Chains A and B, each alone.
Chain A
Amino acid sequence: MGVNIKSMKYEDFKDNEYIESLVAELKASGTNVMVGKLDELINWGRANSLWPLCFGTSCCAIEFMALGAARYDMARFGFEVARNSPRQADYIMVQGTIVHRMAPAVLRLYEQLAEPKYVIACGGCAVSGGPFKNSYCVLPGVDKILPVDVYMPGCPPRPEAMFYGLMQLQRKIKVQKFFGGANRQQKIKEFFASHPEDAKQM
């Protein structure tokens, strides 16, 4: 039950048990043929055209720039256009430490991303606070405020490690249910319940 993506062989990934258990869980109650095929088609498109949000706070951002430059060239795998507005991006890659003053801004950026959206914690600081874990104003990992899909350890991760992490996200997207998976109306209701200010403007 392999999940194949174009750029890397299934056997070369190191944590296939995880993705297999995810697939088994998702398909436990079976899939409608029509919806299943449509899902495959849409997910094929989504996984090969992931647009990141330019969001770097420290060292990892420089490695991300190297990822965009000619030698590593992330455009090969479809992470083509780094967007500067969260409204046009598919995922937020948190590159660097998140501190107390920044936390509300990060949350806001995440909320501004259009659904379906993903979060990658890139580098030791975003994963766990890294070397600054004991500081008085550093978040011990961005997962304290955002739901993280992929963790990329490293300080900073090498560009190859970043690719590995991004491909994990591609695999995750490939097995997701786009149709009928999430109750978006429910989600919107929950959002406005927790944000009364925004609900007033609607």
Chain B
Amino acid sequence: MKAYITKKIMALPLILIGVSIIVFVAIRALPGDPARLMAGPEATQEAVDAMTSRLGLDRSLPAQYASYAYDAIRGDLGISIKSKLPVVDEIGERLPFTVALAITAYLMAIGIGVPAGMLAAIYRRGWPDQIVMLLAIAGASVANFWLALMAMNTFSVQLGWLPLLGATSWKSFVLPSITLAVLPTAVIARMTRSSMIEVMSQDYIRTAYAKGVRPATIYWSHGLRNALLPIITIVGLNFGSLMGGAVVTESVFNWPGIGRFLVDAVRYRDYPVIQGVTLVAVTGVVLMNFLAEVLIAALNPKIRLD
């Protein structure tokens, strides 16, 4: 176990180097030039060239990457082209908001998705199953952009119950986290259902029924506990798509997190910001997957990590 954890931690820098190179090259391969965008449409070629050299973009790609990587190792992700502030500070200011939103959404998704999936499995083919699966399909298919706008119009504009934008109080969390939670809730509910159905057909469940264990105990202690592993796996793996959802949700709700920051940065081709945010997001995803693996190993003695 210890060896496994060490190995995983050692792998993280390699993953980050790989991702940083891909992102670095990919955003520069994108058409669109930050110097031209900064200097504006009226700029002469001379002005664009001056801006290019000021941004250090006239150097060769390897040279640019080398100085970026050198700074990044020392914890300096560069200066945002747009805000002129250090990217590290900019991310530091926003990351707590994204983490808070992601945790709220995830707790919501697990808190609703798991019981809903269990309900569907227990009443398999009955009406609770059909309702849960219908909602799960709807939840997995709806565009959260559209859902966000509808929710805003209903609860903020028409009813006035919840704040429309920003992160100003606990109420601000309600709409964005629900919007963000819809997709993972649906995924978790479906995973829980199929995993539970499989477990519930096992011999030991039948034995438990036969020896007169209360159904509630069977569902929670015998059923869910054994169905948990695939659920944890899916929760861990879905963290990446949750980050993707955060980009859209944060943009619509003016949420001051790193998702919205990334969208703005892409629009202005703010290279240092795009690079920095991607690194942080990738680190988060890798750590979450890693955490899920460790958790599974801890819960299931049959799985050994080495």
A and B associate in one complex: no
Residues in B lying within 8 Å of A, measured CB to CB: none
Residues in A lying within 8 Å of B, measured CB to CB: none
